[in-house]
Structure 1
Amino acid sequence: MSTPPQATTSPGPAARGNPAAVPAADRGATRIADRVVAKIAAQAAREALTAVPGAPPHATVTVHHDIARVHIGLELGYPSDLAAQCAAVRGRVVRLVEEYAQMAVPEVDIDIERLHSAHTRTAAGRDRRLR
């Protein structure tokens, strides 16, 4: 006489290590490199300064936990409202870094490294052609 097969119970999803059973906060961590956040910040500054002559903005960022401190270098046109342009850059950088990287941005330091006027642009262009 044969014995009936015994019912085996398989371990539940949590016992097998199913990731869905483990809370998201306990599965690991995501770290976004400073240089990635700097690229987001530089692109945001570029978007805020449409049609401004000169070199594109560059950014450096220091990230500590989920807080990013941003430093932007700009070349702006002159005469213009420099404060308004800087405020637009700050607002755009804060919004996009918070949105894309999920980091708080308590400060955005801006250095205006060079001013360009219509007069200096044409004079510089003539000097280059004469040489």
Structure 2
Amino acid sequence: MSAETGTVRPPLALAPPGERGATRIADRVVAKIAAQAAREAVAPLPAGAAPPHATVAVHHDTARVRVLLELGYPCDIGARCAAVRRRVAERVGELVSMEVPGVAVQVERLHLAPAPGEPHGRTP
């Protein structure tokens, strides 16, 4: 109700969906989601490893993703990379409704796991 005239205003009508505009999600936002998904897939990170890093190129509703990560060694590198690909594609699709036709995974470094009883880090 308007205080000045004492009349009731009708509710605002929404424009048709095609005329409302668009939502654009920045590439860096999608990259952060992809990096977090990669972290989830390789958890726990080996001691001294940098967290996964992702770069993304978005075109319309499609995201091309590249993930850089470090893994512990020995491990099944192929299986770990496949897990990262699956998790990244799944999470980006769920959270930002984008198609991810492929995820390029680049293993930057392998961290050798210390043998049992062997000291961690540098020794004098």
Cα distance change on mapping 1:24 and 1:114 into 2, 3 Å: same
2:71 is equivalent to residue 76 of structure 1? yes
Cα distance change on mapping 1:56 and 1:26 into 2, 3 Å: same
Please give the per-residue CA displacement for 1:43-100, whole angstroms capped at 9, x wherever unaligned: 0000111112111000000001111000000100111001111111111100110111
Report the counterpart of residue 122 of structure 2 in structure 1: 126
RMSD over aligned CA atoms reads: 2.3
Q: Shift of residue 37 of structure 1? A: 0.2
Q: Structure 1 CA distance, aligned partners of 2:18 and 2:90?
A: 25
% identity of equivalent residues: 60
Determine which structure has the larger helix proportion and give its number. Answer: 1
Q: Shift of residue 19 of structure 1? A: 4.2
2:38 is equivalent to residue 42 of structure 1? no
* Partner SS for 1:125: coil
How many residues align? The count is 113
CA contact (8 A) 1:77 1:117 kept: yes
Q: Structure 2 regions of 5+ residues with no counterpart? A: 1-9
- Runs of 4+ in structure 1 over 6 Å off: none
**Greater Rg, structure 1 or structure 2?**
1
Q: Structure 2 CA distance, aligned partners of 1:87 and 1:19?
A: 48
2:88 is equivalent to residue 93 of structure 1? yes
Cα distance change on mapping 1:24 and 1:82 into 2, 3 Å: same
Report the counterpart of residue 111 of structure 2 in structure 1: 116
Report the counterpart of residue 105 of structure 1 in structure 2: 100
Report the counterpart of residue 22 of structure 2 in structure 1: 29
Q: Structure 1 regions of 5+ residues with no counterpart? A: 1-11
Q: Shift of residue 119 of structure 1? A: 3.6
Cα distance change on mapping 1:67 and 1:19 into 2, 3 Å: farther
2:112 aligned partner, one-letter code: S
1:92 aligned partner, one-letter code: R
Task: Tell me the TM-score normalised to structure 2 length.
Answer: 0.81
Q: Structure 1 CA distance, aligned partners of 2:55 and 2:30?
A: 8
Q: Shift of residue 24 of structure 1? A: 2.0
